[in-house]
Amino acid sequence: MINWELKKIFKCRTGLIVLVLFVFLSGIMVFLNPTLETENSYRNDKYELIVDTRPGNEIAQEKFDEKIKQIANTNANDDFMNKIGEISRDNLKFMKYKEYKEVNFYKVINYKASHPFMSVIMVIILVLIFSNIYVDEKISGVDSIILSSENKLKVLYSKLGLAIIVPLIMYGGYLIIEFLVTLVKYGAPVNGGLEAFRIIDNGFILLNGTYTINEYLVLKIITMLLIFISISVFSSFFSFISNNSLASISGILIFIGVGKVLTLIKFLPSLLLNILSVGNYVDLIFYSDRFVGMYAGNVNILGISLELINLCNGILIATLLTGVILCIVTFKKVLTR
């Protein structure tokens, strides 16, 4: 039935729009690249672009030394900085090489794996597909044929299955395209076993552990997938319970935005505000670099001290599972009333 579901998507206008968006995204992202460790350019007071013309390795070594300096100078003046200091010391202790090593490939892939432009387009694609995945059946009037058929549950579970598979394929496909382009431009990936801070420009000091580049990238890709899959599962859920596209799209937009909006309500409990300020979908989509693998302090729940980012990761997984359960309950209890 999954093949039929895909056929339905790509036979209508939404499918064409999605393909165009995906090609557009992959194309644009080929040209969006970060400033490499071996490059340095800035604008002066007169807004003139100044490009550092020194050899790449010299620039990279200077940047690397600066990072090491920042890590070494981490001052422990509270619990938060204590933890950061501890990680920094570990980072320095377990460093294999004390000098710059070529990490251009990883830096570019890391940049592209969570670029806000990519995330926004990906979310648009997923919302377009899954907000209509069941609403279209209702609008076309085929829903009653489906619900009275022998394979009714197969169809519904296929739709839910697609909500999990399509983000995997879309994001996976995007990463493969960018991987190949980066491979051609910057050569094969090397030194993936070195420290993750080498490919992070800002906030590397807040890394919550001595991640290697490979570990950090895997963590990032899993986090992005969790974000995308949970959005597509909830889009499907809103599609199952809505009667028209507008209601369905409104539902998922509210779902995405509600966390961010609630952070503005200052009288909410500080624990909730802390969780929402780190784990709301808007910030996850736009600033996932501030979330993945980072340390953002601890929170106390029932006397247990939990790391905020870990807690938010747990909530993200729980959100996804809740979405899946809500869809299944809808299949069994709501669609047949």
Partner 1 sequence: MNKLEIRNLTKTYGRKKANDNITVTLQNGVYGLLGPNGSGKTTIMKQITTLIEPTKGEIIYNGDNIKTLDDKYRALIGYLPQEFGVYKNFSAKQFLQYVAALKGLSKKESRNKIDELLNLVGLYDVRNKVVGKFSGGMKRRVGIAQALLNDPKILVLDEPTAGLDPQERARFRNLLSQISKDKIILLSTHIISDIESIAKETIMIKNGAILMKGNHRDILSAMEGKVYSIKTNNEEEAVEIQNSYKTVNIQRGVDDIELRVISDNMPPYKTTQVVEPKFEDVYMFYFDLENSREV
Give dist(CA 51, CA 292) in Å, integer.
Answer: 31
Give dist(CA 131, CA 129) in Å, integer.
Answer: 6
Is 142 or 168 the residue whose CB approaches partner 1 more closely?
A: 142
Closest CB 134 distance from partner 1, rounded Å: 14
Closest CB 143 distance from partner 1, rounded Å: 8
β-strand 304-307 against 49-51: which pairing, if any?
Answer: unpaired
Give dist(CA 144, CA 125) in Å, integer.
Answer: 27
Closest CB 280 distance from partner 1, rounded Å: 37
Is 158 or 248 the residue whose CB approaches partner 1 more closely?
A: 158
Is 140 or 310 the residue whose CB approaches partner 1 more closely?
A: 140
Closest CB 238 distance from partner 1, rounded Å: 21
Give dist(CA 114, CA 296) in Å, integer.
Answer: 19
Closest CB 126 distance from partner 1, rounded Å: 21
**CB neighbours of 100 closer than 8 A, spacing ≥ 6?**
37, 57, 60, 61, 63, 64, 198
CB 114 within 8 A of CB 220: yes
* Tokens 């320095």 sit on residue: 92
Backbone angles phi, psi at 300, to 5 degrees: -100, 120
Closest CB 128 distance from partner 1, rounded Å: 16
**CB neighbours of 208 closer than 8 A, spacing ≥ 6?**
87, 293, 294, 295, 307, 309
Q: Report which residue type is found at 196.
A: A
Is 93 or 337 the residue whose CB approaches partner 1 more closely?
A: 337
Residue 202 three-state SS: coil
State the Cα angle at 243 between 242 and 246, rounded to 5°. Answer: 80
Q: For binding to partner 1 (CB under 8 A), which residues are involved?
A: 1, 4, 8, 11-12, 139-142, 144-153, 155, 336-337
Closest CB 247 distance from partner 1, rounded Å: 19
Is 155 or 177 the residue whose CB approaches partner 1 more closely?
A: 155
Is 45 or 150 the residue whose CB approaches partner 1 more closely?
A: 150
Backbone angles phi, psi at 306, to 5 degrees: -120, 145
Q: Report which residue type is found at 240.
A: F
**CB neighbours of 92 closer than 8 A, spacing ≥ 6?**
68, 71, 72
Is 146 or 183 the residue whose CB approaches partner 1 more closely?
A: 146
Is 11 or 54 the residue whose CB approaches partner 1 more closely?
A: 11
Closest CB 161 distance from partner 1, rounded Å: 15
